[in-house]
Chain A
């Protein structure tokens, strides 16, 4: 009945002129299919409508209302102005005709429309939209919560740092969830729990630490940090909140919610939310939302904590596997370079080391450069073991040709799968006239190269089988004499077997390395290594396949 404007006849519903219908009154108008309905029928029609109808005369006095209108606006009575008795907001005649508007009326929300009939009468149509409006509000609130969680996800997972994750948590929580938010991280070591706080009034993030004993001052906090499930906000007395929990000038907390941040088995911390006294309490929806949010924040924080713990462990382990600082040896200059194939770590299967002579006279320094089968951390660990084994074996034996078989036996007994190692070992001894004598043993490794004073490059004749694979070792040691300025270059096959060059598919090869070394005549030893490393890197042209190691030993040049 709202779709069409009522006819003139209908305006007289409830009026005195009903009897003056032009048609003869009929007892049963419904039996006349083509006839006009009588006043009773029209009256019944209006009564049956779910929409409230209030008909007023020109003075705004109610002349008729149906049952629905009486239900929605009980104070409206026939014979009194519609806008009286507290219904003024509902029946505002300033509102344009035909337009719908919504108004709160007691516990209800009503949609009101005014229509004029003829020149004198007008009617108000009322529709109860309380439930509809509540559904819309709930939907909007749900959308807000979904948007909040959707925004929270990426921000929380953006960092692998616990502090930044905790910061994102409190910054996301304010002002959407509370007026102030604090994350308390689990106490680490010194019985101190770190906290971060954000509040709507204060643009700056606050940070601090509290002792474990202090956490019991906040209702529910110790329990949340212990990982107990959250209790409803209404069970927590905001009056017990200590002042340190709230930012300065916050006033008294009206509502408190403490939620654990679930982590891997143990709580990753706790989220403390507070709203002001004039704020809304945390209802069930808010508590559910906070629990979901806390689960995400907890996951992010615990992942970050785990990552930080592991990278700290990695840093400690890696520091033991990095190439050593080369020591100063009298009469000898040393330089080394190590490039790991894998970008992620600085460590790999190539290694070098220098062992200084002990305090006994006649003891020699030992240099070693080797290559462990495999790549990355696993290879680096074996390389570290080889370096350590050599250090220990050197206490008992320092002749390279005897050290190598001992190392082979130690590797065969190793628990690592495929403990295959190739290396070149040299025992250094200064000789008269500034010469340096090198006793060399080579085990399955490219032989060192010697840069002579005249610029020629020789390959050391030492040979031997690789270590960790065969029960017997085959060794042909060699002794090399370096005159002042001459260089002995140890290198790994990552240098000579580097594929690159103009075609990108060519192997660098020993001959190119020899040629490159011969151009280094007269250079300081560190420059020799730097230059060869640079040439090798250029050859690879950005592709890295294998670890590359260089170690150069030079008899101190004559002055």
Chain B
């Protein structure tokens, strides 16, 4: 890819124990570590529920998938839950291939 879309993260506190993490751009080899560093910092706090909005992610490679698994494992280690609240059809396909659709909590598929 000649032009990469920059990876950005936004953290919103939607309820006293719920954090919403909005990810946009390319989550790949170069940016995966940023996500994990961010996720590590979330759990020592109040958050019991982590919600991920992945609908703005353009591209996720194997390192990006690994980073999402790391976030999932970090949540579990802190007795918190991780839920994906929005994603693209490409990501849904990726989760299906890696059988992560059976691990991650995904929003119900809507058929237009």
Contact = CB atoms under 8 A, between A and B. Distances in A.
12 contacts: A374-B62, A422-B62, A443-B99, A466-B65, A466-B69, A466-B98, A470-B69, A493-B62, A499-B1, A504-B1, A505-B1, A505-B2
A375 B65 contact: no
A470 B76 CA distance: 11
Contacts of B98: 422, 444-445, 465-466
A371 B62 CA distance: 9
Interface in B1-55: 1-3, 29
Contacts of A260: none
B70 interface: yes
A461 to B, nearest CB: 12
Interface string A456-482: 000000011110011000100000000
B61 A465 contact: no
Nearest to A446: B97
A504 B4 CA distance: 12
B73 interface: yes
A535 interface: no
B99 A469 contact: no
B89 interface: no
Main secondary structure of the interface of B (DSSP, over half): helix
B103 interface: yes
A505 B3 contact: yes
A418 B66 contact: yes
B110 interface: no
Contacts of A375: 29
Contact of A465 (B1, B62, B100): B100
Contacts of A446: 97
A463 B97 CA distance: 7
B97 A545 contact: no
A124 interface: no
B63 interface: yes
Interface of B: 1-3, 29, 59, 61-63, 65-66, 69-70, 73, 96-100, 102-103
Contact of B97 (A420, A444, A546): A444
A-B pairs with lowest CB-CB distance, top 6 = A465-B99, A444-B98, A499-B1, A469-B69, A373-B66, A373-B62
Given A504-B2, A505-B3, A463 B63 contact: no
A447 B73 CA distance: 26
A474 B99 contact: yes
A420 B66 contact: yes
A72 B63 CA distance: 86
Interface residues of A, number: 28
Contacts of B69: 420, 466, 469-470
A445 B96 CA distance: 10
A446 B100 CA distance: 13
A299 to B, nearest CB: 34
Interface in A403-455: 418, 420, 422, 443-447
A420 B1 contact: no
A497 interface: yes
B6 to A, nearest CB: 15
Interface string A479-510: 00000000000000100010100001100000
A543 B99 contact: no
Nearest to B96: A463
Contact of A543 (B1, B73, B96): B1
Contacts of B73: 469
Contacts of A447: 97
Contacts of B97: 444-447, 463
A545 B30 CA distance: 12
Contacts of A504: 1-2
Contacts of B103: 465, 470, 474
A463 B99 contact: yes
Nearest to B67: A418
Contact of A373 (B2, B59, B63, B99): B63
Contacts of A497: 59, 61
Given A374-B29, A545-B1, A465 B65 contact: no
B62 A420 contact: yes
A466 B2 contact: no
B1 to A, nearest CB: 4
Given A374-B29, A466-B98, 18 more contacts: A374-B63, A375-B29, A418-B70, A420-B65, A444-B97, A444-B99, A463-B96, A463-B99, A465-B98, A466-B69, A469-B73, A474-B99, A474-B103, A493-B61, A499-B1, A504-B2, A505-B1, A543-B1
A371 B61 CA distance: 11
Nearest to B29: A375
B55 to A, nearest CB: 18
Contacts of A470: 69, 103
Nearest to A443: B99
A127 B62 CA distance: 85
A445 B1 CA distance: 22
Given A418-B70, A499-B1, A466 B99 contact: yes
B66 A465 contact: no
Nearest to A464: B99
A445 B97 CA distance: 6
Contacts of A445: 97-98
A492 to B, nearest CB: 9
